């Protein structure tokens, strides 16, 4: 019985929406009391500026979207074992992980981390965002870049990055970890 009452009330409210019509009346004469300035010379400049700003916003959104896609690709390799020179789910190394992740989204990076470090624009750690690259020197004998990771998240001052380690395969680590903080060399932006 209550269902029938609810249905009747619902039907009544839906049908009555179009029945009530508010009457609007305006005065018989409208007067303009303020005259507009002639801004025709500024209208073109404002339109160009708005178009430029909307273009920048669209480009920034596209970059964010692309970096998220690249991060998702890299994260899909989580747990894959380390293999020197590897570029597949059977085994992969640090530069291979980034090489494959970017290439899948039509961005070519060199295959070796040392050469990858020469791509893009060097940025300060305070400027790092998702999709940026972090480079490290992990060799005690040589002071040359030999490791790379991809920034996947930033939680306050903690930068999380995905990379392939020789001991644990593809994992997400924190730059706050002593080892990685000590080995860190630089950050770059390629997008």
Q: Which of 17, 42, 52, 94 is catalytic?
A: 94
User: What is each CA distance from 163 to 135, 150, 152, 169, in whole angstroms?
Assistant: 10, 7, 10, 8
The secondary structure of the chain, three-state, reads CHHHHHHHHHHHHHHHCCCCCCCCCCCCCCCCCCCCCCCHHHHHHHHHHHHHHHHHHHHHHHHHHHHHHHHHHHHCCCCCCECCCCEECCEECHHHHHHHHHHCCCCCCCCCHHHHCCCCEEECHHHCCCCCEEEECCCCCCCCCCEEEEEEEEECCEEEEEEEECCCEEEEEECCCHHHHHHEEEEEECC
Quick check: is 52 catalytic?
A: no
Residue 163 is a catalytic residue: yes
147: annotated active-site residue: yes
Here the tokens at position 179 are 């080892």
Q: How many CB atoms lie within 10 A of CB 163?
A: 25
Set 17, 42, 52, 163: catalytic member? 163
Catalytic residue positions, numbered:
94, 147, 163
């Amino acid at each position: 019985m209550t269902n029938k009452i609810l249905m009747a009330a619902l039907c009544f409210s839906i049908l009555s929406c179009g029945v009530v019509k508010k009457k609007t009346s305006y005065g018989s004469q409208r007067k303009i009391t303020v005259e507009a300035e002639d801004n025709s010379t500024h209208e073109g400049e404002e339109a160009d500026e708005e178009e430029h700003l909307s273009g920048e916003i669209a480009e920034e959104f596209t970059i964010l979207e692309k970096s998220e896609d690249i991060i998702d690709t890299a994260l899909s390799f989580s747990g894959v074992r380390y293999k020197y020179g590897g570029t597949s789910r059977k085994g992969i190394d640090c530069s291979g992980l980034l090489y494959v992740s970017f290439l899948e989204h039509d961005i070519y990076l060199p295959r070796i981390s040392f050469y990858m470090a020469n791509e893009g624009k060097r940025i300060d750690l305070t400027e790092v965002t998702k999709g940026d690259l972090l480079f490290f020197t992990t060799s005690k004998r040589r002071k040359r870049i030999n490791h790379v990771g991809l920034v996947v998240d930033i939680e306050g001052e903690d930068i999380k990055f995905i990379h392939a380690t020789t001991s644990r395969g593809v994992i997400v680590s924190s730059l706050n970890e002593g080892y990685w903080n000590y080995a860190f060399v630089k950050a770059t932006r390629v997008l």
